[in-house]
A and B are shown apart, each in its own frame.
Chain A
Amino acid sequence: MSPLHLCLALSAALFCTGLVAVLIRGNAILVLLGVELMLNAANLNFLAFWRFGPGGGEAGLVFVLFSIAVAAAEAAVGMALVIAVHRHLRSIRIADANRLKG
């Protein structure tokens, strides 16, 4: 197992953990954190291929920087949304925000 493989395996594991969190947990905040985890996994993927992949370049590195920034922004907005929804529904359970149904 090369280091690349290890990184990729870790990335896959983290991604699926995040996915599980999104799918299974009924708490909005945890869902958002799961999304962050998935993004982290993607960043790791980028870095892995930057470090151990073919060819030089810095694109991966720079991209990860930007990814981190955007993910942070997204987390902030998401949390603000959760707070706003909580104000109306008095709950942060995702299952309670089901008004858009047919």
Chain B
Amino acid sequence: MTTLLAVLALICLAPAVAAVLVRNLIHSALLFVLAWLGLAAFYLALGAEFVAFAQALVYVGGVSMVALFAVLLTRPGRTDLLPPPSAARAVGGLAAASLVASMLASSLFWSRLPSMEPTAPIPLRRLGELLAGPYLVAVLLVGLILTVALIGGLLLAAPRRPAEGGDA
């Protein structure tokens, strides 16, 4: 189990790091896709099938497309230069590093989590009942959020028509 997870972890992490460091935006977006797919596989390994598929659908099928569209719609320049390193960025990097060090240390070395038996995965039917039952309101709310986001996004991104003039 652990070995599998370790391998999958590597598959997730490597593209993610690469995506952050690569200069080309499109390459970056595609690498992200890889990372998300890897994460979906990871979820599968953990026994959350629905979530894994949702992750793949939404992130790979939705967010990455949106990102790609955004990249394509806003490019005059092909490459995005990495900003020259400066003291500020060094500080930022250091802060992030110390953060991850702290998290790792706390989680790996000093946590007192007992080793337990893994939880049984939940069958899909049960998930559906949950969503339609106790979590119905949340579902509806999320639906509302998505609707609002959709409309807002449309409004924000729609091109200005010259005849309208001044209409914000």
Q: Which residues of A does B touch, CB under 8 Å?
A: 1-10, 12-21, 23-27, 29-30, 32-34, 36-37, 40, 43-44, 47-48, 50-54, 56, 58, 61-62, 64-66, 68-77, 79-84, 86-87, 90, 92-93, 95
Contacts and interface: CB of A to CB of B under 8 A. Distances in A.
A81 to B, nearest CB: 6
Given A40-B59, A58-B122, 11 more contacts: A3-B1, A6-B5, A14-B13, A16-B100, A21-B19, A37-B32, A61-B50, A62-B130, A72-B146, A82-B70, A87-B159
A3 B67 contact: no
Given A65-B50, A66-B138, A74 B149 contact: yes
Contacts of B66: 75-76, 79
Contacts, number: 228
A80 B25 contact: no
Interface of B: 1-2, 5-6, 9, 12-13, 16-17, 19-20, 25, 28-29, 32, 35-36, 39, 42-43, 46-48, 50-51, 54-55, 58-59, 62-63, 66-67, 69-71, 73-74, 76, 80-83, 89, 92-93, 95-97, 99-100, 103-104, 107-108, 111, 113-116, 118-120, 122, 126-127, 130-131, 135, 138, 142, 145-146, 148-150, 152-157, 159-160
Given A15-B103, A76-B66, A82-B70, A6 B118 contact: no
Contact of B92 (A23, A36, A48, A68): A23
Contacts of A81: 156
A24 B74 contact: no
Contact of B67 (A7, A21, A79): A79
A25 B82 contact: yes
Contacts of B114: 54
A50 B48 contact: yes
Contacts of B157: 79-80, 83-84
A16 B36 contact: no
Contacts of A56: 119-120
Given A3-B5, A56-B119, A68-B51, A12 B107 contact: yes
A21 B2 contact: no
A90 B160 CA distance: 15
Contacts of A69: 58, 142, 145-146
Given A33-B67, A84-B156, A54 B116 contact: yes
B156 A83 contact: yes
A72 B156 CA distance: 16
